[in-house]
Chain A
């Protein structure tokens, strides 16, 4: 018993108290900002450079749904693109993931697009079934980490469950491999209403580095309503939890004030 107490003492308090205002390492690749001063040649070079075609011109913009956060654009054109360590990247409208030149405001959810029943039914308890469909295990590990002692999303009643029948929605990672498409559809069908769909990571949102691969079948994304997009490669646990807090309308920072 004494040994356990020593271990607990060294372990200390691990949880991140304020998930809204935690500070990540300065190098963390979060929301980019784009200067409004650039030439047409810069646009041409940047769009050619970007490996996943996340960068487009007119005006210059980065689509975080396609961006794999490799930072190559910033390294070549630091005067035009700068990645901040702002980890709040989630959006509920696909086009809101596109950061345009001059955009300084953070990315937030569009309240009008949140289905009314999502907040009324799920705000205090959200159970999610995760489906990895070609995910590379890094997003999956970050989703597990969202429930661990550090990030502890369980404090908001959010957790992953084993059965889709116990779940209120599904969280998809990976570009959706053809070989996994049917299992994903079956899982979705088993979830009761109002089932929410959350896409985590650039792979899930756009196919990421696998866009155009003949091994994918992304018809699920085309035929279902997506409630939340969470970019990243992989998405950071704070990005994921903040996205869900936004969706559910949770503003209290730490409901468990007893800790």
Chain B
């Protein structure tokens, strides 16, 4: 066996593997193997997390390539151990190590920036929100600007600290954690499957369908529940509706920020049509309730299907009309083009996922790299752009709105209403001593849920990863050397989740 092939390899999404089948490596080999694998740009770390068993801390590394092969291996440390950081070799791992160091007594030697990630209730160092010093640059010509945690608009809280030279941003440090509610801690407790299903929809309310789907897929896999082809398609239709609504909403926000009032109000109205379609289907504008374990309480009826088709056709027509006009307006283009540029190398370096990767020509799209549910039998071609600026992020949204509408129409054209719709189940019995992983492409990007079960099948450790976990750092890079007045459009062009990061 090749020295660096010490992993269990599974080509499935979602997947489940017996803990006993996961090779446990000495840390030095664990490190070398990780560096070796991740030097291949086709491979990305989808999860790297710890689980404590008495004084032993197991670290699980999960890496996927672009053809849905997932490699899993682990290493074990003891409380108080100090190990060499992987970040010096693979910068994209910096958030994972920050997250682990915050909740477990492990020190990563050489980590360049061990800032707490979310100041969680299970933190081992019990730092308060103000305890970590912000980065400083001395200089009489420089000044600092602090924004938040409460922002001007009606959005979630987070703190941004800028160091500026005049109008120019030299550095942005993002402080998160204000939204921490203890999601993973509750997920690992003894609450019912129904409770956890609902909680997963509230991880990030703007991605309720996607996070709910990641949880449902994982629960089903761990319990050996099969889902019907009909349900597989309904779920991805709900997910694409979520994507369309959020992309249109973000188009409205970007238009609003550059004072293009018409674009803002038209997109607001089109988003309303989209989320009201979701409400017609399930009674909730964010799709809360559509995804349930093993079935759904809201099977897609013929009458609703007709509404979906009619509304999406209207939205596509009017949205295209608006976007065509928008892209001819010099006053709008001047604010978007060349602003907030992130290079392909930077995005690779910090491990960007989803939209934040695709806007700079990196293929990161779970629908293609790790197909799941309806995408297993439907070819999704990711849209890749190469601008890396606010314009590219707007254009990507515009293109993805149309693409997602086309996907839904294609799914609906083949949709079989006569197939039996299954009901939700909450009487699951998960297999004991397993590690499960599910991946879903939310509208922001890759959502990953992992669970480890104990001897009796209860969830001993639950790990949620929202794409924002990676992408906040992309935003910090995007505003470097920009005018501070362009921060709002840079921020909105990503529209990252605070609660998804803080959990």
Q: Give residues in A with beta carbon < 8 Å to B.
A: 3-4, 6-8, 10-11, 14, 24-25, 27-29, 49, 51, 68-72, 75, 129-145, 148-150, 160, 162, 174-175, 177-180, 182-183, 187, 203, 208-210, 213-216, 233-234, 236
B297 nearest CB neighbor, chain A only:
A75
25 A-B residue contacts at CB 8 Å?
A: A7-B325, A10-B321, A11-B266, A14-B265, A24-B279, A29-B283, A29-B284, A129-B150, A132-B156, A132-B179, A135-B179, A136-B205, A137-B156, A137-B205, A140-B155, A142-B285, A148-B265, A150-B268, A179-B178, A179-B180, A179-B502, A180-B178, A213-B186, A214-B182, A215-B121
Measured as residues with beta carbon below 8 angstroms from the partner, the interface class of chain B is: 35 or more
A75 nearest CB neighbor, chain B only:
B297
Give the segment of B30-38, B194-202, B358-366, B484-492 that binds chain A: B194-202
Q: Which residues of B contact A234 (CB under 8 A)?
A: 205, 286
CB–CB A70/B182 < 8 A: no
B208 nearest CB neighbor, chain A only:
A138
A58 CB, nearest partner CB in chain B, Å: 23
Cβ of B373 within 8 Å of any chain A Cβ, yes or no, is no
CB–CB B499/A150 < 8 A: no
CB–CB A209/B149 < 8 A: no
- Most chain A CB neighbours (cut-off 10 Å) among B154, B191, B317: B154
**A132-B156, A179-B119, A210-B186 in contact; A148/B268 too (CB < 8 A)?**
yes
**A7-B322, A11-B266 in contact; A25/B198 too (CB < 8 A)?**
no
CB–CB A28/B279 < 8 A: yes
Query: 16 additional contacts, CB 8 Å, given A139-B205, A233-B202?
Result: A8-B262, A10-B318, A70-B194, A75-B297, A132-B156, A136-B499, A137-B204, A137-B499, A138-B202, A138-B286, A180-B149, A203-B202, A208-B202, A209-B199, A215-B180, A215-B181
Q: Which residues of A contact B318 (CB under 8 A)?
A: 7, 10-11
Sorted nearest first, the 10 A-B pairs with minimum C-beta distance are A138-B205, A27-B283, A136-B205, A215-B182, A162-B152, A215-B121, A213-B182, A51-B195, A130-B154, A148-B268
Q: Which residues of A contact B322 (CB under 8 A)?
A: 7
CB–CB B262/A7 < 8 A: yes
Cβ of B145 within 8 Å of any chain A Cβ, yes or no, is no
How far, in whole Å, are A236 and B282 apart by their CA atoms in the complex? 14
Which of B152, B182, B205, B266 has a CB less than 8 Å from the CB of A210? B182
Cβ of B157 within 8 Å of any chain A Cβ, yes or no, is yes
Q: Which residues of B contact A210 (CB under 8 A)?
A: 181-182, 186
What is the 8 Å Cβ interface bit string for chain B, positions 253-278, against chain A (1 contact, 0 not)? 00000000010011011001000100
Tally of A-B Cβ pairs under 8 angstroms: 186
How far, in whole Å, are A24 and B322 apart by their CA atoms in the complex? 28
Cβ of B203 within 8 Å of any chain A Cβ, yes or no, is yes
A201 nearest CB neighbor, chain B only:
B205
Q: Which residues of B contact A138 (CB under 8 A)?
A: 202, 205-206, 208, 286, 288
How far, in whole Å, are A196 and B64 apart by their CA atoms in the complex? 51
CB–CB A140/B156 < 8 A: yes
Cβ of B133 within 8 Å of any chain A Cβ, yes or no, is no
CB–CB A14/B272 < 8 A: yes
B257 CB, nearest partner CB in chain A, Å: 14
CB–CB A137/B154 < 8 A: no
A68 nearest CB neighbor, chain B only:
B198
CB–CB A209/B182 < 8 A: no
Cβ of B334 within 8 Å of any chain A Cβ, yes or no, is no
Cβ of B374 within 8 Å of any chain A Cβ, yes or no, is no
Q: Which residues of B contact A28 (CB under 8 A)?
A: 279, 283-284
Q: Which residues of B contact A133 (CB under 8 A)?
A: 157, 178
Q: Which residues of A contact B284 (CB under 8 A)?
A: 28-29, 69, 233
A11 nearest CB neighbor, chain B only:
B266
A234 nearest CB neighbor, chain B only:
B205
**A7-B262, A10-B321, A141-B206 in contact; A51/B154 too (CB < 8 A)?**
no
What is the 8 Å Cβ interface bit string for chain B, positions 473-503, against chain A (1 contact, 0 not)? 0000000000000000000000001110010
CB–CB A214/B121 < 8 A: yes
How far, in whole Å, are A203 and B180 apart by their CA atoms in the complex? 13
